[in-house]
Amino acid sequence: MPSILGANTLSSGYEVANSLRFSRASSTGLELDLGTPTNAKKYTISFWIKREVSGNSADIIAGGTNGSNETFIRMNSNGLFQFKADHGSATSWSVNPNALGRDPSAWYHYVAAVDTSQGTASNRVKIYLNGELQSLSTANYPDEDHASDFLNNDNVIHIGKRNYDGAVYFDGYLCEFVFLDGQTLDATSFGEFDDDSPTIWKPKDVSGLTFGDNGFYLEFKQAGTSQNSSGLGADTSGNDNHFAVENLTAVNQSTDTCTNNFATWNPLFRKGTTTPAFTEGNLKSTFDDGGANEFALTTLGVSSGKWYAEVKWVSNTGTGATATGILDMAYTGTDDPNNAVTNAFGYFGSGQKNVSGTASNYGNSYADGNIVGIAIDMDNNKLYFSKNGTFQASGDPTSGSTGTGAIAIVAGVTYGIFASDYNDQVAELNTGSPPYAISSGNADANGHGNFEYAVPSGYLALCTKNLAGNG
């Protein structure tokens, strides 16, 4: 399957500014009461998705009244995209591609094109992933001229949850969500291959498409909570088919998109057989291993350049078990970075530092609500930590090779950011698209990221736009 990770970083192209982060734990969703469709037999759905691995199935868009009368596009726990309609056994159908969307570090583009007026069954529903027409693992097509699907009819639909009850919530990010009523288009109407890197599929401007009466275009540009043009569910197609928001706020608006992919915690990285619980788009990690440390590591790592990120500790910190730091991305062991792990460098909640298992005095302790800043200088192999904006040990990340107050790190290693603890401690990662409210707002020199504290001069947010030129 063509790649989307890092899309639009190699050449100029259409930029997607915002996504919306959905959370099962917070019961988030969008709701719209549709009207009479332009053509109930023809519609196209296109969206870009970055998933959270939660072990649960999740409805991306759904309509219907109960389990026997519903239409939905769902991502199953194994990464399978399922497009299914239930209207009684005679008219039920299901179309699922073979390809899976399992990578939580990548964005995927999904298109479902429906035209039940087609005489050939295989032409009635077509699925595209990352620009490619998909072979199907399940191909039970709708009947010819079938027109009772709940996704394009006079009824209520939801995005990010099941339509008829409080279940099957989606965890992850969605952007560029398009619904065309009366149009059946393929993936090339919504994306294209990058000129400089033809294996990368990227989005293109869809504002000139014909949307039809029930059609909508969700860009997630606005941050309000009302069902209007200023809300998170604002429709920018010109139809004013604005969605009502459910348990979504401005914090759920993200700059992590299919054209600028930010690092998150990696739910596939495990210490032994255990892993923390990840929520809020893999940005919130809850450690609970009954007394044995768990740790989280980022999806993206760096081997050159200068990088900045923040970790907000929410609970039970201030001890030698709590640690924030960097770790060799090639690490395959089962021990946590607080112990004698090569190329692990951390700042303990107790105020000590850890260099490959050796602890020593360093700075101030940090507690609940404190934010630890991480400044990684791979050009000079130096590492700096801050507590609530103050760099510890009188550190100066702009001191270059002098390394004032720095922790020396090993050259030639690709480092990711880690957090480690146990027993219900919570670490929230901000590589530039935070899962919590920011009171000040600070971007890097390239204009990327939203941080609580000022980004040191020359340092960048950990995202693919920056990595393309500096990582």
**Alpha carbon separation from 4 to 1, 50, 262, 428, 471 (Å, rounded):** 9, 10, 13, 25, 18
pLDDT category of residue 52 using cuts at 50, 70 and 90: confident
pLDDT classification of 222: cutoffs 50, 70, 90: very high
Q: Indicate whether 304 and 335 sit together in one domain.
A: yes
Residues 6+ apart with CB under 8 A from 227: 233, 242, 243, 244, 245
Whether residue 119 lies inside any domain: the answer is yes
Residues 111 and 65 in one domain: yes
* pLDDT at residue number 7: 45
Do residue 244 and residue 175 come from a single domain? yes
The pair of three-digit structure tokens given for residue 250, joined into one six-digit string: 């401005």
Least confident span in 8-22, 48-62, 249-263: 8-22
Question: What CATH number corresponds to the domain at position 440?
Answer: 2.60.120.920
Are 301 and 195 part of one and the same domain? no
> Do 229 and 169 fall within a single domain?
yes
- pLDDT tens, residue by residue, 139-165: 999 999 998 789 999 999 999 999 887
Q: Which uninterrupted H or E stretch holds 69?
A: strand 69-75
Number of domains in the chain: 2
Same domain membership, residue 449 and residue 364 = yes
In terms of domains, do 201 and 322 share one?
no
Query: How high is the mean pLDDT of the chain?
Result: 91
387 in any annotated domain? yes
Clarify whether residues 28 and 163 are in a common domain. Answer: yes
Q: What is the pLDDT of residue 292?
A: 65
| Residues in contact with 447: Cβ distance below 8 Å, sequence separation at least 6, in sequence order | none
In this structure, are 404 and 436 located in the same domain? yes
Kindly state whether residue 358 falls inside one of the protein's structural domains. Answer: yes
Lowest mean pLDDT among 10-14, 128-132, 291-295, 348-352: 10-14
Q: Backbone dihedral region of 393: left (phi > 0), alpha (psi from -120 to 50 degrees) or beta?
A: left
Amino acid sitting at position 251: V
d(CA 174, CA 232): 12
How high is the pLDDT of residue 238?
97
Is residue 271 a part of any domain in this protein? no
- What integer is the mean pLDDT of 104-109? 95
Higher pLDDT, 68 or 300: 300
The predicted pLDDT at position 357 comes to 86
* pLDDT at 320 > cutoff 60: yes
- Which of 174-188, 190-204, 249-263, 426-440 shows the lowest mean pLDDT across its residues? 190-204
Range of the domain at 216: 19-254
pLDDT of residue 275: 74
Q: Which amino acid is at 6?
A: G
Structural domain includes residue 259: no
The model's pLDDT over 247-276, given as tens digits with 9 standing for 90+, comes to 999 999 999 999 999 999 998 886 655 678
184 and 128 within one domain: yes
Any domain includes 260: no
Residue 333 lies in a domain: yes
Position 115 confidence tier, pLDDT thresholds 50, 70, 90: very high
Q: Is residue 399 domain-shared with residue 441, that is, in the same domain?
A: yes
Q: Report the pLDDT value the prediction gives residue 2, as an integer from 0 to 100.
A: 60
Contact in structure between 382 and 391 (CB atoms under 8 Å): no
pTM score over 0.85: yes
405 pLDDT tier (thresholds 50, 70, 90) = very high
pLDDT for 471: 56
Residues 211 and 284 in one domain: no
Per-residue pLDDT at 237: 98
What pairing do the DSSP bridges indicate for beta strands 253-254 and 407-408? unpaired
Q: What is the CATH number of the domain that holds 132?
A: 2.60.120.200
Task: Decide if 264 is inside a domain.
Answer: no
